[in-house]
Structure 1
């Protein structure tokens, strides 16, 4: 029991004693005759003591309920604070992964190529996706990875100027480039729900 509760309990008891003393003083004044007073004293004191004890118990119970409510409010606020910290930490990690992937896609779009170094860095960036995003995002980043492979292949095959298949590879390069560039349109819809205040699990 806290110090405040002890203080309250002590003041309640003191108040009960003062009320009992006042009651008996009034009874003594009104009854006057000590012989008549004696007949009523024992039953009256029992009833009054029971009422006083009940009142004190009620007041103490009310105080304990109030303290319990305050403690529950504090516990709820602590839980909310802890939860907000976890949500913020998760948001930071997800945002860092998204920005890494977006940066690499941006490099591919600016140069129109996906050299081995870029492809390696992209693979390292998407390694963390299964731990922070759902299957929808995992499938999407894998699809972008395949487009990067195909873009690199098309660029390599286009280098042979006398190859009769060159026009096919030129078209394929354009298709792969467009598919990669669509990241800026498609990714926000997939990544966004994971990074909002009410997060997707």
Structure 2
């Protein structure tokens, strides 16, 4: 009767391990989903800058602050800094473009040049989005094998030591 308790305990252990493995994979996938959503929002904002040039809607520029807040808890310091620099460049570009709307102003040309300089800065920063984000968007976590997968692998390793010519 003692062996039955041991067998049941072993089966419970296997079920608990499989549940833990499933929960772990779900957490990894959820984190990936949240990170890719931030990347996509960032890329979409970049595309609006490419389409509209220096004339950005203030709502879009201020909405990007929410994307930065999301990213602060999902990525490392380098992504946070990159998004901050990008946002600052876009804010400067937009404010200079708004000041350039007054055509009669003697500083009109200066504002336009400054807006385009900040746009070039934002584009240069955006060029490094993919390389900076990519370490966080890989799904390269090791999968933890099931007991049967582990046993099959160990059996293959054992067979590889066969001394046949």
* Equivalent residue runs for 1:103-118 within 5 Å: 103-112=44-53, 113-118=55-60
1:29 alignment partner in structure 2: none
In structure 2, how many angstroms separate the alpha carbons of the residues matched to 1:119 and 1:142? Answer: 12
Structure 2 SS opposite 1:198: coil
1:84 alignment partner in structure 2: 25
Q: CA RMSD in A?
A: 2.6
For the pair shown, which has the larger CA radius of gyration, 1 or 2?
1
2:130 alignment partner in structure 1: 188
- Report the alpha carbon displacement of residue 72 of structure 1 after superposing the two structures with TM: 4.1
Q: How big is each residue's C-alpha offset from its partner over 1:24-74, in whole Å with a ceiling of 9 and x where there is no partner?
A: xxxxxxxxxxxxxxxxxxxxxxxxxxxxxxxxxxxx76x776666555444
In structure 2, how many angstroms separate the alpha carbons of the residues matched to 1:94 and 1:160? Answer: 40
1:147 matched to 2:89: yes
In structure 2, how many angstroms separate the alpha carbons of the residues matched to 1:104 and 1:83? Answer: 32
**TM-score, normalised to structure 2's length?**
0.69
2:115 alignment partner in structure 1: 173
Moved more, 93-102 or 154-163: 154-163
Q: Which has the higher contact order (CA 8 A, sep 6+)?
A: 2
Moved more, 86-95 or 156-165: 156-165
1:99 matched to 2:40: yes
Structure 2 SS opposite 1:197: coil
- Report the alpha carbon displacement of residue 89 of structure 1 after superposing the two structures with TM: 0.8
In structure 1, how many angstroms separate the alpha carbons of the residues matched to 2:126 and 2:66? Answer: 20
- Report how many residues are paired: 140
Select which of 59, 64, 75 maps to 2:16. 75
Q: How big is each residue's C-alpha offset from its partner over 1:66-86, in whole Å with a ceiling of 9 and x where there is no partner?
A: 666555444333222111011
